[in-house]
């Protein structure tokens, strides 16, 4: 039987550049005393990201959530927005905080993204937009979503928090939909400490997004919109610029760790892993595993791993439509696949520095737990 390890293993660990590189980047900030409000690094980071993400247009934000909330605000919507409950709280909160009503569509049991077969049934004359989630970096069926959205005149804003650097047929994922939000939180494949970006189709949105993240200010003496403070500061942008140099290497390492997990877990009865779509270039953001008819339940495995000092996460449990703040208006039974997967999924430790032997150890503990 596997022993309890001494040092804890957490679900992830932030990507960090060499300290000297970051410190070097700080010197010009001290010289200029320009700390925030769209400084030099902000502009340079924006330029480099636009190219890395192959995005037609891009705006930076202080975090992913503000990016999503303000992207939705920029669309000037009213009514209902179709999304999925199998996501982080941010997705639905961004809709509700815009005075809009989320309508939860179930997910498909293959890749846990929005079940497009159910989409049209949920569209009413109050529907104004769709906010699908590329959960774990699994891309939604962007082509069918586009066709349906176009035929009903709906906006599409992707929660692309998990898809930094991903491509579909060699094109950046941010090209799909009216807008896509990327998160650069410390726990993500790529971080700027906290941070986020919106990529968008219509260049006319650039001015609106810029104004909305800066309190709605439109001139020295004019404020035309009810904006927020969503500005990314220079320390974040400096971190982003440093990390951008290492992100390809990080994705490569993530990929080999995911392959290792798959080689150890694939084919075990009752364990389900995500399949890859050959059209997609993945970033290997998460390692989700679904336990369905396995020798131990998800919660038992969570507990056994914890006893071994391995701290995995139940991303995403509970479903958003089962949160205390939404439960009075929704029922998780309305999205049965999401409710089921949410009760069966664990995301395993994954980050570039994770030793391969730890992957083997995690898989060994899971195998032992399954034998009872
Ligand atoms: N949409 C989706 C689909 C999202 O997943 C998210 C964020 C958003 C929107 C909103 O984007 P942001 O506004 O966050 O940019 C984490 C993150 O805070 C959150 O960004 C992320 N999704 C969510 C899935 O996970 P927690 O509460 O699980 O994080 P926490 O603090 O427990 O950290 C998890 C592990 O990460 C720790 O055990 C160790 C490691 N860690 C954590 C921090 C904070 C580090 O290595 N360094 C760190 O600085 O929410």
Q: 169's torsion region: left (phi>0), alpha (psi -120 to 50) or beta?
A: left
Distance (angstroms) between ligand 1 centre and the Cα of 347 equals 13
Could you read off the pLDDT of 1-58 as tens digits, one per residue?
Answer: 788 899 999 999 999 999 999 999 999 999 999 999 999 999 999 999 999 999 999 9
Burial string for 102-124 (b: 16+ CB within 10 Å, else e) reads bbbbbbbeebbbbbbeebeeebe
At residue 57, the 3 state secondary structure works out as: coil
Ligand 1 pocket test target in 70, 88, 197 with most atoms within 8 Å of CB:
88
Task: State residue 76's pLDDT score.
Answer: 97
Which residue has its alpha carbon closest to ligand 1 atom 22? 88
User: Could you tell me which of 168, 166, 167, 140 has the C-alpha nearest to residue 82?
Assistant: 140
Return the number of other C-beta atoms located less than 10 Å from residue 196's C-beta: 29
The dihedral through the CA atoms of 212, 218, 219, 223 has a sign that is negative
User: Could you tell me which of 297, 316, 290, 358 has the C-alpha nearest to residue 88?
Assistant: 316
Query: Hunting for tokens 């999924």 — which residue is that?
Result: 345
Q: Provide the residue-wise pLDDT of the chain in tens; the chain has 372 residues.
A: 788 899 999 999 999 999 999 999 999 999 999 999 999 999 999 999 999 999 999 999 999 999 999 999 999 999 999 999 999 999 999 999 999 999 999 999 999 999 999 999 999 999 999 999 999 999 999 999 999 999 999 999 999 999 999 999 999 999 999 999 999 999 999 999 999 999 999 999 999 999 999 999 999 999 999 999 999 999 999 999 999 999 999 999 999 999 999 999 999 999 999 999 999 999 999 999 999 999 999 999 999 999 999 999 999 999 999 999 999 999 999 999 999 999 999 999 999 999 999 999 999 999 999 986
Could you read off the pLDDT of 317-357 as tens digits, one per residue?
Answer: 999 999 999 999 999 999 999 999 999 999 999 999 999 99
Distance (angstroms) between ligand 1 centre and the Cα of 185 equals 6
Q: Are 205 and 180 in contact (CB under 8 A)?
A: no
* Gap between the Cα atoms of 151 and 155, Å rounded: 11
Distance (angstroms) between ligand 1 centre and the Cα of 33 equals 30
Distance (angstroms) between ligand 1 centre and the Cα of 161 equals 11
Q: Looking at the chain, how many residues does it have?
A: 372
Q: Is the CB of 308 under 6 A from ligand 1?
A: no
Task: State residue 2's pLDDT score.
Answer: 83
């Amino acid at each position: 039987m596997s022993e309890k390890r001494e040092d804890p293993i957490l679900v992830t660990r932030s990507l960090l550049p060499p300290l000297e590189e970051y410190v070097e980047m700080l010197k010009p900030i001290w010289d200029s005393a320009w700390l925030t409000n769209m400084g030099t690094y902000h502009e340079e980071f924006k330029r480099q990201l636009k190219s890395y993400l192959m995005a037609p247009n891009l705006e930076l934000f202080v975090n992913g959530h503000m990016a999503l909330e303000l992207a939705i605000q920029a669309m000037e919507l009213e009514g209902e927005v179709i999304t999925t409950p199998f996501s982080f709280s941010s997705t639905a909160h961004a809709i509700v905080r815009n005075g809009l009503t989320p309508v939860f569509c179930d997910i498909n049991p293959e890749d846990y993204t929005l079940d497009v077969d159910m989409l049209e049934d949920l569209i009413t004359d109050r529907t104004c937009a769709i906010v699908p989630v590329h959960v774990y970096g699994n891309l939604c069926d962007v082509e069918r979503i586009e066709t349906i959205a176009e035929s009903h005149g709906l906006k599409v804003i992707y929660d692309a928090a998990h898809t930094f650097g991903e491509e579909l047929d060699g094109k950046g994922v941010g090209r799909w939909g009216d807008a896509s939000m990327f998160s650069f939180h410390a726990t993500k494949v790529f971080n700027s400490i906290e941070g986020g970006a919106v990529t968008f189709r219509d260049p006319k949105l650039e001015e609106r997004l810029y104004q909305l993240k800066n309190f709605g200010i439109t001139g020295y003496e004019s404020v035309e919109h009810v904006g927020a403070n969503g500005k990314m500061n220079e320390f974040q942008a400096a971190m982003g610029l440093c990390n951008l140099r290492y992100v390809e290497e990080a994705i490569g390492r993530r990929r080999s760790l995911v392959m290792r997990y798959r080689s150890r877990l694939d084919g075990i009865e009752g364990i389900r892993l995500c399949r890859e779509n050959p059209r997609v270039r993945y970033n290997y953001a998460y390692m989700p595993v679904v336990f369905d008819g396995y020798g131990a339940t998800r919660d038992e495995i969570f507990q056994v791993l914890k006893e071994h000092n391995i701290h995995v996460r139940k991303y995403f449990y509970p479903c958003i439509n089962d949160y205390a703040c939404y439960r009075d208006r929704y029922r998780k039974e309305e999205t049965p696949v999401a409710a089921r997967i949410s009760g069966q999924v664990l995301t395993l430790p994954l980050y570039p520095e994770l030793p391969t032997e730890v992957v083997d150890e995690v898989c060994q503990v899971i195998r032992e737990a399954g034998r009872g």
